[in-house]
Amino acid sequence: MADGSYLKGFGVTFKKLFEDRVTGDYRGGKGLAKGKPDEKRPKADRLHGRHVLNRYEDGMEKCIGCELCAGVCPAKCIYVRGADNDPEAPTSPGERFGYVYEINYLRCIHCDLCVEACPTQAITESKLFEFSFTNRSDAIYTKNELLVGDDGKPQQLPWEDWRAGEDQMTSGWMRATSPAGDHRYEGMVHWAGELGYGVREPEPGQSADGEDDGGARPVESGTHEG
């Protein structure tokens, strides 16, 4: 107190009054009717939001019902039950498909481990985080809600707050968290076979500190022939 540091503190806070604000005008969409759009900052490339279940270009589901996502989930929020495909009219290209697929968003912590575990890149995360529910059963998303539409974009459910452009790049996480983060995958976009969304510019890469560890080279995934 004797050195006047208390008064110095008052000066510090007073200066803050004239600084730029770090937050924007955000009203959760409530100002839209009056022509006041929400100010939003651009989302991070690897933001973890609500999941989507992807499909191949021909409309087949990628999920093969292997339950690896459910096994790896630390919050135990995923419930999967696989079933055998009908050979006449298969749901997915393999032997089995995800018969039941549920994610409980009251438990999900958006850690993205399910996405990393998925061998077919069936489950990825969109950037949507503005969704809320008024009852517990609404919080459990089933395959009906999670599966992408025929255009490959996530479904926009009534209680979710989607804005223009947010349904793009649903699997933009992939390069960072999959083996594709390795320097040998630099400049490669290798999850072909999606319905036209989710491919983004390759990341700069890590070749400076990278050494070839003799690991697996990228396979041309998504070369599914129907």
Partner 1 sequence: MMFAQDPLYTGDWLGDVVITAIKVVAAFTFLLVAVMLNIWFLRKVISDFQNRVGPNTAGRWGILQSLADGIKLFFKEDLVPDNADRVSFKLAPYLSLVPAFLVFAIIPIGGDFNGDDGDGVVTIFGHDTLLQVADPPVGVLWFLAMSSLAIYGVMLAGWSSGSKYPLIGSVRASAQMVSYEAALGLALASVLLVSGTLSTHAMVIDQSGQGPAFFGIENILPAWYLLPVGVVPFVVFIIAGTAELNHPPFDLVEAEQEIVGGFHTEYSSIRFALFFLAEFMNQITMGALLVTLFLGGPNGPAFFFPEGWWIGVFWFFLKLMGFLFLLVWVRATLPRFRYDQLMDFGWKLLIPLSLGWFILLAFIQIGRDEEWSTTQFVALGAGLAAAFVALAGMLGLAIRNARNERIDEMEDAHG
Cα torsion angle, 58, 60, 64, 68, sign:
positive
- Whole-number minimum distance, CB 9 to partner 1, in Å? 5
Cβ nearer to partner 1, comparing 29 with 74 = 29
- Whole-number minimum distance, CB 159 to partner 1, in Å? 19
Query: Rounded CA gap, 114 and 179, in Å?
Result: 15
- Whole-number minimum distance, CB 189 to partner 1, in Å? 39
Alpha-carbon distances of 16 from 4, 26, 54, 70, rounded to whole Å: 19, 21, 47, 48
Name which of 189, 66, 57, 50 is nearest 130 in CA terms. Answer: 50
Cβ nearer to partner 1, comparing 9 with 71 = 9
Cβ nearer to partner 1, comparing 4 with 10 = 10
- Whole-number minimum distance, CB 19 to partner 1, in Å? 6
Query: In degrees, to the nearest 5, what angle opens at C-alpha 28 toward C-alphas 23 and 31?
Result: 95
Span 23-42, contacts to partner 1 by CB under 8 A:
23-28, 30-31
Cβ nearer to partner 1, comparing 32 with 100 = 32
Q: How many residues bind partner 1 (CB under 8 A)?
A: 20
Query: Rounded CA gap, 60 and 77, in Å?
Result: 25
- Whole-number minimum distance, CB 4 to partner 1, in Å? 13
Name which of 62, 56, 190 is nearest 122 in CA terms. Answer: 62
Name which of 219, 226, 174, 218 is nearest 55 in CA terms. Answer: 226
Q: Residue 178: what are its φ and ψ, rounded to 5°?
A: -90, 180
Cβ nearer to partner 1, comparing 26 with 159 = 26
Cβ nearer to partner 1, comparing 34 with 225 = 34
Span 7-26, contacts to partner 1 by CB under 8 A:
9-10, 12-14, 16-17, 19-26
Chain residues binding partner 1 by CB under 8 A are: 6, 9-10, 12-14, 16-17, 19-28, 30-31
